[in-house]
Amino acid sequence: MSQPSISVPGYSIHHRLGKGGMAEVYLATEQALQRQVALKVLLHREDAAFTQRFIKEGHTVASLQHPSIITIYRIDQLDDGRHFLAMEYLAGGDLAQYKGQRLEPARALRIVRQIASALALVHDKGLVHRDIKPGNILFRDDGTAVLSDFGVAKQLLLDSELTQSGIAVGSPAYSSPEQAQCQALDARSDIYSLGVILLEMLSGHNPFRGGNYTQTLMNQLQLEAPPLPESLGELQWLLDRMLAKDPEDRFADCHVLLASLDELQDADQDQTRLSPAVSLPPRPSRRRWLPWAVLGLLLLAVGSTGGYYWQLQQRIAGLLALAETRLSEGHLLTPAQDNADYYFRQTLALDEDNQQANDGLQRVLQARIQQYLDLAEQRLAEGLLILPEDDSAVHYFRQVLGWEPDNLLALAGINRVAQRFIEQSEAAYARREYNLALEQIKQGLEAEPDNERLLALYDSHEQRVRQAASRPRSAQPAQQNPIKRLLNNLFD
């Protein structure tokens, strides 16, 4: 397979992780420190305003030192003048990978707490993120949630520009009502977006997502969030405050939100306390009884400890058995709180060094990788190469590469998609459908931007069209009138 066409001094480029309207992100290894990084590179250098915003994003994130905010290592330029950011590479994927799944409440609240803690620092610096969505919440290998993509973050005092431009910046399915109306924003807008994410994690879907952009914005303005099921009733007040349509009815800031999360955690903690110490009878006057009393206490302590250890081991064995059963049944992440991933992680919560649980999580990951490879092959057979974005061959191959960057089957799959576009473009050239041929080439480059054959086709397209135009079309047989053809058949 061809190497990426981009070259950045000091870095070994592996492959592209994703692409947006103005920038693309590559997985690379920083040669000096031999660590994996994500390189965010501008697509163009002509847009001075966007370049300044890109540089500002790097400076903004670099100034925010927090365990749940992505780390920026370097801001620099390529030889062709384009800027790039070298940042922390997070191999755990993003929250969007759990779309349609219900997360256990404890995990959902842990994610909200970590992101709210990051946002508290962002807001204290006088900034508002404005694009809180699952795709911008990434995970480290240890499960820590990390906030990323500050490309549309803006100082609170300057946010009136949004109202003047009349452009709703952000993702509509997670936008606050005031953001949908292009009004000035503050920290409470980010809290609303985080509330939508919490609702989606708990219920498995986003009720505000409409059939189109306009309907989604209208839902944010008018649609009340559905109540949580009875089993999650203790979280309803938290969700109602975060998703209040009027900003004045929400939490005033993320510090208040974090304090409310602490209260919720305290209320849920186990209320049991250690029982009072065993009362001993008055000490006999004769000291010979003291050793026996001490021995009795030691035996009681040893017996209690042994009983607890036995119960703990029984609990761990039960969790591991459930995990193995669910894994064999193919229940990797669903249903919520009754799947292989859940039981293996519950085991590690009791015994963080449990090797069987750690091995089990690796087997869950490998099973997920195989599922996504199978889905990718199905979409490839169906001709769904790059669309729809979240259900295409390229989508599933890239999900696999997010978990396992060197997976040969996924890398080869991306290359096969590119080859399919090469074939389709050549077929379009043969039919003199030049615009279609160019479109096929561009889509192929979306799948594999460093494919040498596609790049050569793109570079030679205009010359190829001119050469074809200079050649006369081959004579085409005249189309006979169908009625005349019928009469001829009758009388011949």
- Tell me the catalytic residues: 131
Q: Could you identify the residue written with the tokens 């305003």?
A: 49
154 labeled part of a ligand binding site:
no
Count the neighbouring beta carbons within 10 Å of the beta carbon of residue 149: 20
- What is the amino acid identity at position 331? H
Could you tell me which of 143, 80, 150 has the C-alpha nearest to residue 106? Answer: 143
Kind and range of the H or E element at 466?
helix 452-470
- The secondary structure of 273-291 as a DSSP string is -PPPPPPPPPPPSSGGGHH
Is the preceding peptide bond at 335 cis, omega within 30 degrees of 0?
Answer: yes
Sign for the CA dihedral angle at 196, 201, 202, 208 comes to positive
How far is residue 119's CA from residue 122's CA, in Å, rounded to a whole number?
5
Is the preceding peptide bond at 229 cis, omega within 30 degrees of 0?
Answer: no
Nearest-Å Rg of the Cα atoms of the chain is: 30
- Going edge to edge, which strands form the sheet with 11-19? 11-19, 23-30, 35-42, 83-88, 72-77
CA distances from 396 to 2, 334, 379 (A): 21, 19, 9
Could you tell me which of 177, 191, 188 has the C-alpha nearest to residue 116? Answer: 191
Longest dimension (CA), the chain: 138
Kind and range of the H or E element at 254?
helix 254-268
How far is residue 444's CA from residue 69's CA, in Å, rounded to a whole number?
34
* Contact call for residues 97 and 105 (beta carbons, < 8 A): no
Could you tell me which of 70, 128, 132, 120 has the C-alpha nearest to residue 96? Answer: 132
Strand-pair category, 83-88 with 23-30: unpaired
Strand-pair category, 72-77 with 35-42: unpaired
Tell me the CB-side half-sphere exposure of residue 11, using CA atoms within 13 A. Answer: 26
Q: Could you identify the residue written with the tokens 């109540």?
A: 227
How far is residue 166's CA from residue 49's CA, in Å, rounded to a whole number?
18
Q: Enumerate the known binding-site residues for ATP.
A: 40
